[in-house]
Amino acid sequence: MKCELCGLEFVEDSPEDQKTHQRRHDTVVNGPRTKATPGILVVTPETRGKLFDRVQWASNRLLHLDFGGPDLCDGRRAYLLVDSGRVVSYVLAGSVEIETKPYRAIFFAWTPLAQRQKGFARRLIAKALEDSEHREIAWCAPLTGDGEALAVSVSGPTLARFR
Ligand SMILES: CC(C)(COP(=O)(O)OP(=O)(O)OC[C@H]1O[C@@H](n2cnc3c(N)ncnc32)[C@H](O)[C@@H]1OP(=O)(O)O)[C@@H](O)C(=O)NCCC(=O)NCCS
Ligand SMILES: [Zn+2]
């Protein structure tokens, strides 16, 4: 069967499959486990490691982006919020110019299902902006429904978009 929530396909009466599923399901719903210090962890292409890979896996899985979502390439930074031994939100930021005006670009945001609507993504976006020389945020289109709600809440209805 296929789990509706985490998207994993597994054999229901295989104990081994069930165990694998439980582990992955927990990661997607509650967030990847980590021993990192609570607070905001900044990841660059140079410092990326297994934790970022797991975060990326979990966020892609939930969105059914099996081809892989936007990546941590040159000049971009990933912001991970660590709380109670979990990564509870992830934001991928960079820079973009729209009609010669520079912006802090938000390429992607993800909060595990059970951690949503607690202000976690908002905190990471504030940090990403503070961390840059830019004054305003631009959002990578197309946005998901959740992404649109977050973007409007943070930037107002006339938010800047780019592709
Ligand atoms: C979009 C997403 C990252 C938001 O994360 P979050 O941690 O829940 O966001 P926050 O709690 O910081 O939300 C900040 C504000 O945005 C608004 N908001 C965020 N998600 C919303 C939603 N689904 N519906 C309505 N408003 C929403 C709220 O006004 C919220 O403030 P409030 O609830 O305190 O009034 C999360 O819903 C998610 O991971 N969705 C699936 C992945 C996805 O679609 N990512 C966007 C890709 S473009
Ligand atoms: Zn599942």
Residue ranges of the domains in the chain? 15-162
Going from the Cα of 154 to the center of ligand 1, the distance in angstroms, rounded, reads: 10
**Using CA positions, which residue lies closest to atom 22 of ligand 1?**
146
Listed range (42-46, 50-54, 57-61, 100-104) with the worst mean pLDDT = 57-61
User: Which class would CATH give 15-162?
Assistant: alpha beta
Distance between CA atoms of 149 and 126, rounded to whole angstroms?
A: 16
Name the amino acid, one letter, at 153: S
pTM score, two decimals? 0.95
Span 78-119, pLDDT tens digits: 999 999 999 999 999 999 999 999 999 999 999 999 999 999
Three-point CA angle 63, 64, 69, nearest 5°: 70
How far away, in angstroms, is 124 Cα from ligand 1 center?
12
pLDDT tens, residue by residue, 13-30: 999 999 999 999 999 999
Q: Which residues line ligand 1 (CB under 6 A)?
A: 63, 89, 108-111, 116-122, 143-144, 146-147, 149-150, 153
Atom of ligand 1 nearest to the CA of 59: 42
**Residue to probe by mutation, ligand 1, list 150, 155, 159, 161, most atoms within 8 Å of CB:** 150
How much distance in Å is there from the Cα of 8 to the middle of ligand 2?
6
- Residue 39 CA to ligand 2 centre (angstroms): 27
3-state secondary structure 21-66: HHHHHHHHHHCCECCCCCEEEEECCCCCCHHHHHHHHHHHHHCCCC
DSSP element (H, E) containing 92: strand 86-98
What whole-number distance in Å separates Cα of residue 52 and Cα of residue 136? 26
Across all residues in the chain, what is the average pLDDT?
94
